Structure 1
Amino acid sequence: MGGLDNRDSSSAVLTVLEVAGRIGMAEPVVAELRCIDESGETLSESGMEAVRGLADPRERVESWETLKAELAGGDPNGLRMLYWMLHAAGRYTFPTYRRMGIPDDIFDATMGCFTRFVGEHRTSYGRYGFDRDFWTYRELSARLFRLGSLEFELAYDAADVPTIAGLPRVINVHIPSDASLDPAQCDRSVDESREFLAEFFPDWTGLPYWCESWLLSPALERLLPESSRILAFQRRFDIRETHPDAPDWREWVFQRCDAPIAELPEHTSLQRNMKRFLLDGGKVGVGIGCLR
């Protein structure tokens, strides 16, 4: 699965700036984090306990809600939230990885979500910011891992487990925006995930893999060529349910553009085809499927 670096003590911790450096955070954001750090940023006792709780699978949602409430009104671009989530990553999640023996490169790849989300914010709004805190407690609690191109989540909260699965626990597959959908790379990711589970989470082996995504929308068969890697990825799954009105396509195809359909950009062939399809009354939505 990869190797640990020289600091193999289970008590090793990282600072916010060390985590930011490991995951290649953009320098303007690092500068903002450094300013927060040098300002002597503090939280209440309950706020600090919430930061710790982000890394606890039993407390993560309540802890996120507590931290969100504490920062409300004083964090317009979300970078204070980013600071404290990176603090949790270095102070609590990293030692968890070390204690379990999970390689450091998986920590770095998984926490890279923060860099990716900050970059996506800039693409959408023209400025750096962080607004995915509602999601990233999954990574911080060591229940979602980037393994190659794809991410795999040990899903157990009712809100995260597809109702149609009929099980209390499943493995959710997520597709990062920078993922390669090359079939060989997807194969490697799935294989690596099974090896990973067998080594570090054996009680999760054998559970079905599920995915909910606009990439699984049946409408894409009308919008993409037969040779499309998106369609090849979609066909890995037995699609059991669709939600045609889900707006996910706005975020992932049109970078969160909220303009009327007639004014959506047409920079790519997918954007052009999807826009024409939507103007003709079509719906994209999402599909929910089980890995075959």
Structure 2
Amino acid sequence: MTNDETLQALLAWLPSENPRPELPETWDDSWTLRVVEEAARLERAEQTRRGIPPEITEATLQDVGIWSRHCQRTRGTEGIADQHLGWFKLHASGRLCRLGRLQFAIETYTWDDVPGLEKGDTVLGMHIPAEAPLDIDECKKSIAAAFPFFDTYFPDFPPAKAIVCSSWMLGDWVPEAAGVGGSLDRFQQLFHLLPSGNSPGSACYFVFGYREVDPATAPRDTRLRRNLLDLIEAGKPVNAGRCYLLREEVQ
């Protein structure tokens, strides 16, 4: 397909359950941004329909600027990298909301190792936007606000039973690498932690901006970067992690 044909197919894909169309070799980041702009329009429309305060919608859509700046910084191009198309499809659904420091989205539970949850249960998937300090008090406020917010504005969904998250930030190597007692360590302590697989590419992408880095040339300007590169050089696992917090545990 041409870029124009692919664009039209992606615009139709955003509100559908269909597989994502393949991208032609001529596709670039500026075309992805055009899809993202439509996702933002759909999100505004759906959240307006639900009566969600506009300031919540606009805070959620800060993601457009965050990933545009990331694209410029890491790729030197105007637009958004196509690997974020799936993320903005979630935006288009209207079910993603930023409540202060953290984002939450209505999701279906798919794991099998959280006590009290069964596959298919409604949960709130938690996401941690970039470009802001990980203030623990602000995170606690976001967590406390999540269940009441979604109960109010998404009454057509079953009440969510838990908050869940998968992230490189939840890996068991992170507290020591970033500093015991630091914000990443204290963030992990807010939840029950579960193991996940080795995921150095994910950690590198969010710490450096690239999924693959060369330890010989990558910047070592922070403690986290230095220790992450040391783990990679030593061939040690850089696992991601998962966490959960049941509704009744939220204060």
TM-score by length of 1: 0.72
Contact 2:36 2:64 in 1 (8 A): no
Structure 1 segments, 4+ long, off by >6 Å, are: none
Larger radius of gyration: 1
Q: Deviations over 1:143-194 (max 9, x none)?
A: 22111111112113x8xx4454542232111111124321110011112212
Residue 250 and residue 163 in structure 1: after superposition, are their counterparts in 2 closer, same or farther (change >3 A)?
farther
Structure 1, unmatched stretches of 5+, are 1-41
The question of 1:83 aligning with 2:37 is answered: no
Measured in 2, the distance between the counterparts of 1:94 and 1:136 equals: 13
Q: Which amino acid aligns with 1:116?
A: I
Residue 253 and residue 88 in structure 1: after superposition, are their counterparts in 2 closer, same or farther (change >3 A)?
closer
Q: Secondary structure in 1 aligned to 2:126?
A: strand
Aligned to 1:151: 103
Residue 142 and residue 268 in structure 1: after superposition, are their counterparts in 2 closer, same or farther (change >3 A)?
same
**Map 1:132-281 → 2, pairs under 5 A:** 132-156=84-108, 161-165=110-114, 166-168=118-120, 169-202=122-155, 203-256=157-210, 258-281=212-235
Q: Secondary structure in 2 aligned to 1:197?
A: helix
Contact 1:121 1:129 in 2 (8 A): yes
Measured in 1, the distance between the counterparts of 2:174 and 2:220 equals: 17
**Map 1:18-167 → 2, pairs under 5 A:** 48=8, 51-54=11-14, 56=15, 59-62=16-19, 65-66=20-21, 69=22, 72-76=24-28, 78-90=29-41, 92-131=42-81, 132-156=84-108, 161-165=110-114, 166-167=118-119
Aligned to 2:240: 286
Residue 261 and residue 164 in structure 1: after superposition, are their counterparts in 2 closer, same or farther (change >3 A)?
farther
Q: Which amino acid aligns with 2:125?
A: N
Larger % of helix: which? Answer: 1
Measured in 2, the distance between the counterparts of 1:260 and 1:84 equals: 32
Q: CA deviation at 1:245?
A: 4.1
Q: Secondary structure in 1 aligned to 2:178?
A: coil
TM-score by length of 2: 0.83
Contact 2:194 2:243 in 1 (8 A): yes
Measured in 1, the distance between the counterparts of 2:232 and 2:24 equals: 37
Q: CA deviation at 1:288?
A: 1.0
Residue 49 and residue 277 in structure 1: after superposition, are their counterparts in 2 closer, same or farther (change >3 A)?
closer
Q: Which amino acid aligns with 1:223?
A: A
Q: Which amino acid aligns with 2:180?
A: E
Measured in 1, the distance between the counterparts of 2:18 and 2:53 equals: 26
163-172 vs 190-199, which moves further: 163-172
